[in-house]
Amino acid sequence: MTDIALHAGLIGQSGSREQLNTPVLVVDRAALSANIATMAAFAASKGLKLRPHAKTHKSADIARLQLKAGAVGLCCAKIGEAEALAAQGVSSGLLITSPVVSAPAIARLVALNLATQGLKVVVDHPDNVAALGAAAGASGKPLEVLIDLDPGIHRTGVASPQTAVALFEAIKAQSSLTYAGLQCYCGVQQHIEAFDVRKTALEDRGAYIREVIDALTAADGAPPIVSGSGTGSHRIDAELGLFTELQVGSYVFMDDQYLACDLTGDGAGDGADAGPYQRSLFIDARVVSANSPGMVTVDAGFKAMSTDADPPQVVAGAPEGSRYFFMGDEHGALVPSSGSPPPLGARVTLAAPHCDPTVNLYDAYHVVEGDTLVDIWPVTARGRSR
């Protein structure tokens, strides 16, 4: 049975969060709405466009909330993510932020271009530019492309101002491609916890991006769009005068890695309640075994959350200071530092660790206001990594 079939009858019933089958992905509607509004207001106040990254939430419902708050479109990590959103009507202004290279993927890309408005994709190699040009030409509809710039981690992107200019020339030579601008996402710098250290690192990258923009401009390729930035860097990037739009993702949920960061420069990590963005994503689990002194076992393990970050914090349902330890695929241990662990069957709320890969483990968001389930939203693009 799907999550929706299992739980739809509980929507709107007071206290219904307690009735959910666990482990379950929970989003706090008030915190999510506040995060969306805060980022929208920030971008507007800086005269920047917002194209939030859907890799974080993979949800047409959340995308629609972002569009309603003024976003110009959504970023997607892969063609499959873009297809899934478009199929749900989120079909305008999609930007695919990784190169689409294989022949079957390019065939889907040009089909999606025909079915949507303003689709954009990044490129980082002349062979790919030629392949996209041929496919878009055969489809009869021009395709917009942005040059992806490597900020120095060698993941994707062109690696120098000269190669950026060469790629611009290659794009110009394809009549079925429209040059839309430049993308640069400085991923490594996002989670530097101290504001000043992060600022210095991003200013250094900003100088390099400026060099590339200047080289393109000198070659008659001034980028109409300069897209980039993330939750960790948006306040700094907004001051660099380089970007035309922000492609922030994690701000909607705020996981521990971001809550440990000082996003605003006030000298303190923002914590769950202190910063401009609040934690909105949780996993509700339950105690399923309570036979050992000083600990209990909950029903959420490796399959219930991402494991690349620290284990989750325990935010409700157990004595303050309780800690969670992974106990395998399906289970975790809950160990209070003082007091008794919660009893068999008790509900425990964990903070979602690294948000993006955690979301991808679930079919649906259970949207709550306090302890009441108020909606269920499918994770529209779950598993659409290709």
Residue ranges that bind ligand PLP, judged by CB under 6 A: 53, 55-56, 75, 97, 185, 187, 190, 230-232, 247-251
**CA distances (Å), 300 to each of 7, 57, 138, 175, 332, in order?**
19, 20, 49, 53, 6
| Amino acid at residue number 290 | A
| Sole window of 39-47, 122-130, 342-350, 353-361 interacting with Mn ion (rule: CB under 5 A) | 353-361
Q: Which does 53 bind (CB under 5 to 8 A by kind): ligand PLP, Mn ion, none?
A: ligand PLP
Pairing state of beta strands 24-28 and 281-292? Answer: antiparallel
Least distance to ligand PLP from the beta carbon of 42, Å? 13
Sign, CA torsion 232/233/238/243: negative
Stretch that binds Mn ion, among 174-182, 226-234, 317-325, 351-359 (CB under 5 A): 351-359
Judged by beta carbon distances under 5 to 8 A according to partner kind, the member of Mn ion, ligand PLP, none in contact with residue 221 is none
Q: Are residues 81 and 63 in contact, defined by beta-carbon separation less than 8 angstroms?
A: no
| The dihedral sign for the CA sequence 30, 37, 77, 185 | negative
Q: Is 256 in the site for Mn ion (CB under 5 A)?
A: no
63: number of Cβ within 10 Å: 24
187 makes contact, choosing from ligand PLP, Mn ion, none, with CB < 5 to 8 Å by partner type, with ligand PLP
Which of Mn ion, ligand PLP, none binds 366 (CB below 5-8 Å, type-dependent)?
none
- By beta-carbon distance, which residue lies closest to ligand PLP? 230
The answer to whether the beta carbons of residues 302 and 256 sit under 8 Å apart is no
Among 65, 356, 373, 376, contact with Mn ion (rule: CB under 5 A): 356
Rank residues 7 and 120 by Cβ distance to ligand PLP and give the closer one. Answer: 120
User: Is residue 3 within the footprint of Mn ion (CB under 5 A)?
Assistant: no
Question: What's the one-letter identity of residue 328?
Answer: G
Residue number with CB closer to ligand PLP (3 or 150): 150
- Tally of CA atoms within 13 A in the half-sphere of 72 that contains its CB: 18
Among Mn ion, ligand PLP, none, residue 230 binds (CB under 5-8 Å by kind): ligand PLP
